[in-house]
Amino acid sequence: MGDGISSFWGPVTSSTDWCEQNYVYSSYIAEFFNTASNIPGILLALIGLVNALRQRFEKRFSVLHLSNITLAIGSMLFHATLQKLQQQGDETPMVWEMLLYIYILYSPDWHYRSTMPTFLFLYGAIVAVVHSQIRFEIGFKVHYAVLCLLCIPRMYKYYIYTDDRSAKRLAKLYVVTLLLASLCWLCDRVFCKDISHWYLNPQGHALWHVLMGFNSYYANTFLMFCRAQQREWNPKVKHLMGIFPYVKIEKTKVK
């Protein structure tokens, strides 16, 4: 804890306290960098949400961008307070978000339209209830990793069946940001004792937040492109301000 700054939220009750000194800059924010680093993810999700709404993509993509925003806000509250209740508000949306990705990835080939969303909804609800009563620290991480791994085969299938170079670049950026983010997260956890003695903390977990914000944005944009291809909407990857990629579509008019 920072010298001379008291904790507004009281003692830490979360099962995890990350490798950042608590309450260094404010008595209202336990981990300043881990809290503020969620802002880029929120802004990127807003860009994706506006594009999805403006071009009338399917509602699943609006919900996906909103889930990214919800997750980032939950993460901000958790890192700002380091309270058990807020940790629940951070971890449960992580599971829900991955279930939504699974739905978007696999639903086009699912013959029974109502079965998959019903199952995923019930599964997410059960996980939320169980997780609120029992703290699975390692188990949660393993469970989340398994959900992520379930998405990879279908993402790879979409990649190999996509000829557009710009879309393929989105998929590559998704992989690169995921690997870099995982490396930052791992180093922050494994080498925390050493890092805490450095003159300058590289804030590995904060970098994880920033990179995962971009990772989600690249994943969402790639999936929007692939879905537009399935619907024959003639998608093209454009760039906002020459930097942020987005999908522009041309829906066929019904005569």
- Residues at the annotated binding site? 17-18, 20, 22, 31, 79, 205, 209
Q: Which residues are annotated as a binding site for Zn(2+)?
A: 79, 205, 209
Q: Enter the tokens of residue 215.
A: 């990772």
Query: Distance (Å, rounded) from C-alpha 209 to C-alpha 33?
Result: 10
DSSP track, the chain: --TT---SS-S--SS---SS-TTSSBTTBSSHHHHHTTHHHHHHHHHHHHHHHHTT--HHHHHHHHHHHHHHHHHHHHHHH--HHHHHHHHHHHHHHHHHHHHHHHGGG-SSTTHHHHHHHHHHHHHHHHHHHS--HHHHHHHHHHHHHHHHHHHHHHHHT---HHHHHHHHHHHHHHHHHHHHHHHHHHTHHHHTTSSS---HHHHHHHHHHHHHHHHHHHHHHHHHHHTT---EEEEETTTEEEEE--PPPP-
Q: Which residues are annotated as a binding site for Ca(2+)?
A: 17-18, 20, 22, 31
Q: Enter the tokens of residue 214.
A: 């971009």
